[in-house]
Amino acid sequence: MRSRNLKCIAPLGPEAMGTTESDRPTALVTGANRGLGLETSIQLRAKGFRVVLTSRDEKKGTAAVRGLDPGGGDVLYHPLDITDRASISAVAKDLPALVPRLDLLVNNAGIGSWGADRRASARTIATNYFGSRDVTDALLPFIPNGGRVVMVSSGLGELSTMGRDLRPRFADPSLTRAALDSLVNAYLTALENGDAKSAGWPSAYSVSKVSLNAFTRILSRERSPRGVRVNSVCPGWVRTDMGGLGASRSVEVGARSIVLAATLPGDATGGFYRDGKKIPW
């Protein structure tokens, strides 16, 4: 099934406009069948990107591609469940047949869990932190010098959501991947023991997004010698399935914040942005 959806070449491609497919910037967006991921794909396409739209549900993803790009060519599809190692490996394996390189990776897929349910909390960490990290690591070999990674984080990923003792540990500028993972695992252990709240841990959603922001800083440090820019973004509170009808922003405005972070001028890296402006973490 995968290979059937690999390519959709437009009858009138960018060659007709004096550029070749290989000149065109390419982006891959996770969780792009609906909500902010879909709208981000729409806006990136409007900016001239070829978009690899991915989703964990193939039917929903291919329907989104058909709606977005009925002629084919601008938007390609590949299934991707960011919590499934085999699914991540399949994208990494198939990507060279889809696009010449990846100029931009948007880690958008995410779930929310704000309550005390342990399984839902663990799933939220597995998706928002470990999943986004694993997708990034698998796709980094395709991101050239000067490419970008954008982590869709949240205002609920601000350090201030953490207990006072935990904040400096996440904010440590020399935090390593291993140290970050042990912080996240300490949260999962506290969750199991039922003492997460008393130990200063906020909701699983906040832990996942604080951790994603910490990973952004680690990755930007690792990749800056190659000029790969890695930033986190808050889209604001947005009227999607996750944000709910009462949210203050339209999906267009929220996705615009993501696209601005994905197209920041210069070599800004390791920052946290909303609406194209750096915000404190």
Q: Using CB atoms within 10 A of its CB, is residue 119 exposed (0-12), middle (13-18) or buried (19+)?
A: exposed
User: Hey, which residues between 75 and 94 contact ligand NDP (CB under 6 A)?
Assistant: 80-83
CA distance 258 to 273: 9
217 counts as binding ligand NDP under rule CB under 6 A: no
Q: Which of 6, 68, 92, 111 binds ligand NDP (CB under 6 A)?
A: 111
CB of 18 to ligand NDP, least distance (A): 35
What are the structure tokens assigned to 281, written together?
């973490």
CB of 268 to ligand NDP, least distance (A): 20
Q: Which of 15, 23, 57, 137 binds ligand NDP (CB under 6 A)?
A: 57
154 counts as binding ligand NDP under rule CB under 6 A: yes
Helices 204-223 and 177-193 cross at an angle (nearest 10°) of 170
CB of 129 to ligand NDP, least distance (A): 11
165 counts as binding ligand NDP under rule CB under 6 A: no
CA distance 224 to 261: 17
CB of 52 to ligand NDP, least distance (A): 13
* Residues in contact with 274: Cβ distance below 8 Å, sequence separation at least 6, in sequence order: 155, 233, 234, 235, 236, 257
147 counts as binding ligand NDP under rule CB under 6 A: no
Q: Which of 62, 127, 206, 213 binds ligand NDP (CB under 6 A)?
A: 127
For the question of residue 205 being annotated catalytic, the response is yes
Nearer to ligand NDP among residue 144 and residue 275 (C-beta): 275
Distance from first CA to last CA of the chain, Å, rounded? 42
The CB-based long-range contact list for 119-123 (8 Å cut-off, 24+ gap) reads: 120/204, 121/191, 121/203, 121/204, 122/188, 122/191, 122/204, 123/83
Question: 233 has which bridge partners?
Answer: 152, 273
User: Tokens 């959501």 appear where?
Assistant: 161
By CB under 6 A, which span of 11-19, 136-144, 178-186, 232-240 interacts with ligand NDP? 232-240
State the catalytic residues: 205
Chain residues binding ligand NDP by CB under 6 A are 30-31, 33-37, 55-57, 60, 80-83, 108-111, 127, 131, 152, 154, 234-235, 237-238, 240-243, 247
